Structure 1
Amino acid sequence: MNKPDQPQATTLFAPGGYRYIPGVFQYSAGVIAAPGFDLVRVRLREILPLAEGFERIEAFLGKEGRPLTSFCACELRSPAPFDEAGFRAFNRLYVETLQRWGISDGETNPVARTNVCPIIDPPATPSFYAFTFTVERPAERPGFVVAGSGESVEGKANYRDHTIRLGDISPEAMREKARFVLGEMERRLSRLGASWRETSAVQAYTIHDLHPFLADEIVARGAAGSGLTWHYTRPPVVDLEFEMDCRGVAREVLI
């Protein structure tokens, strides 16, 4: 895997020991361990409400001897898709803790994130499912996480006006949505100096049937080399129907 040392590809977040792809204020598009560091993913046995989850993570990082700035990616679960105003309000609340931790300045945020909404047994409030942090350990292939992305162009004034086949969940529309999302995953992987070949896990988030395009759109392009984990969830914003993320992490733990 090539090292992403080009300034236009990633930005160094030195206090955390990782580089990131600049994104929107609520999250970055992806992260990769800086030289001398690697990534560890931690999944929670039970999801924890946002405030409680931040407290658990803070205690965990302290026990591991890592600074709060080592927090570099997270996976959230929310009760139901937000409307655009609700999503903005949630993001502002989420970023407050990252500001307190010295990670975000309120406008620039290096932490990658996926936030999706389970249909069955959803949480009562936005909650933590998993998180990733950096450790001081040289790695031949530095760990990386690509943030979740749905079938809309991010960073625009709204999602609706930039969503692929808005409101259409026909098999042809779902294929087109998936193709767009896969392309965005590949763009982000490329900026991290990686490809599908280096991924250790690829995750899809949708309540719609992905089998019609699983073989030729996902498997054929190499996105399922380590298998594909399908979460029966919705993306976090109303009217989005398909989301993916991926990672290449050598060490994962369950707590």
Structure 2
Amino acid sequence: MTSDFLPGNYRFIPGVFQYSGGAAADPGFEIERVRFDKPVPLAEGFKQIAQYIKAAGRPLTSFAACELRSPAAFTDQGFRDFNLHYVKTLAEWGLYDGKTNPVARSNVCPEIDPPAEPSFYAFSFTRPSESTTPSFVISGSGEAREGGATYSERTVRYRDLSPDGFKEKVGFVVDAMERRMGEFGFGWKDATAVQTYTVHDFHPVFADALVRRGAARSGLTWHFARPPVIDLEYEMDCRRVMREMVI
């Protein structure tokens, strides 16, 4: 079930306090994705994002999604501490009310040449559009089930990197993407971009787990990066966005 976020002109999939499951623009609006040429540290990134959104004539509440890069995978507590810091700005912008967060997000850790501190890689916001083409951004998801006290309890095939174990991890994540797109009434046929994040060779399962299901119809962008929590091994996100910029 999705919820409306009227101040941002989008609907979202309710999730955890740090991010939603995805965001989709309302009729009469579209999502624009903006990627930084180089990752920008969190505080400076928020500043530049605010400037860009305001220059586009949009309120800060139109901020709908972001893609982060972190120095290394977090512990459970470290990830929670980071998220508590991250949502402070969202609260100041009128996006986070202390319980519900409509903003979609991915946060991964480059294995080679990582940033020195958590940084923005890209962000998305809504803007008016005369096009009837829908647009959405689905949050990143690794192989962790919802619920449970710790990530180790929730992780599919925890610390199992056998061929069968990794195949199950990938399949779980692909299923999660399909479920989230399905909440908005979309599927792989609608996605214009799909990204995957892992440091492991997923080629043995690529054809069956991704291509045959339509997940690679527009190709697949592989980032040599780890999911944000220790012992998660595979993550994906996807989107349907017609307007993309690099600044």
Gap runs ≥5 in structure 1: 1-8
In structure 2, C-alpha distance between the alignment counterparts of 1:85 and 1:183, rounded to whole Å: 27
CA distance in 2, matches of 1:31, 1:62: 20
Structure 2 residue 87 is matched with structure 1 residue 99: no
Distance 1:205 1:169 in 2: 15
Determine the C-alpha separation between the residues in 2 that align with 1:177 and 1:184. Answer: 11
Residue equivalent to 1:216: 208
Are 1:143 and 2:135 matched, yes or no?
yes
Q: How does 1:76-225 map to 2 (within 5 A)?
A: 76-225=68-217
Question: Aligned partners of 2:23, 2:147: CA distance in 1, in Å?
Answer: 18
Q: Which moved more, 1:146-155 or 1:184-193?
A: 146-155
1:203-252 CA-partner distances (Å, limit 9, x unpaired): 11000001000011110000000000000000000000000000000110
The alpha-carbon distance between structure 1 residues 119 and 63, as it changes in their structure 2 partners (threshold 3 A), is same
Q: Matched residues, percent identical?
A: 59
Q: 1: CA distance between counterparts of 2:163 and 2:131?
A: 42
Cα distance between partner residues in 1 of 2:86 and 2:131: 31
**34, 40, 45: which is aligned to 1:48?**
40
Checking the alignment, whether the CA contact within 8 Å between 1:202 and 1:245 is kept in structure 2 is yes
* Mapped contact 2:27–2:132 kept (Cα < 8 A): no
Q: TM-score, normalised by structure 2?
A: 0.98
2:231 is equivalent to residue 248 of structure 1? no
Q: Deviation string for 1:45-73 (max 9, x for gaps)?
A: 01000000000001111111110000000
Aligned-residue RMSD, C-alpha: 0.8
Cα offset, 1:155, TM superposition: 4.5
Q: Is the 8 A contact 1:27 1:113 kept in 2?
A: yes
Count residues with an aligned counterpart: 247
Rounded to whole Å, the distance in 1 between the matches of 2:148 and 2:8 is 28
**How many Å separate the matches in 2 of 1:67 and 1:191?**
26
Task: Go from structure 1 to structure 2 and tell me whether the alpha carbon gap of 1:155 and 1:13 turns closer, same or farther (over 3 Å shift).
Answer: farther
Return the alpha-carbon distance in structure 2 between the equivalents of residues 195 and 29 of structure 1.
15
**Pair 1:226 & 2:221 matched:** no
Instruction: Output the CA distance in 1 between the equivalents of 2:115 and 2:146.
Output: 26
Instruction: Label 1:35 to 1:155 Cα distance change in 2 as closer, same or farther (>3 A).
Output: farther
Measured after TM superposition, the shift of residue 171 of structure 1 is: 1.7
Deviating more after overlay: 157-166 vs 25-34: 157-166
Note the alpha carbon deviations across 1:12-60, whole angstroms, 9 max, x for none.
0000000000000000000100111110000000100000000000111
2:22 aligned residue (27, 30, 41): 30
TM-score normalised by structure 1 residue count: 0.95
> Is 1:77–1:127's contact at 8 Å kept on the other side of the alignment?
yes
Whether the aligned pair in 1 keeps the contact of 2:147 and 2:154 (CA below 8 Å) is: no
Equivalent residue for 2:55, pick from 42, 60, 63 = 63
Counterpart residue number, 1:6: none
- Uncovered stretches (5+) of structure 2, i.e. residues with no partner: none
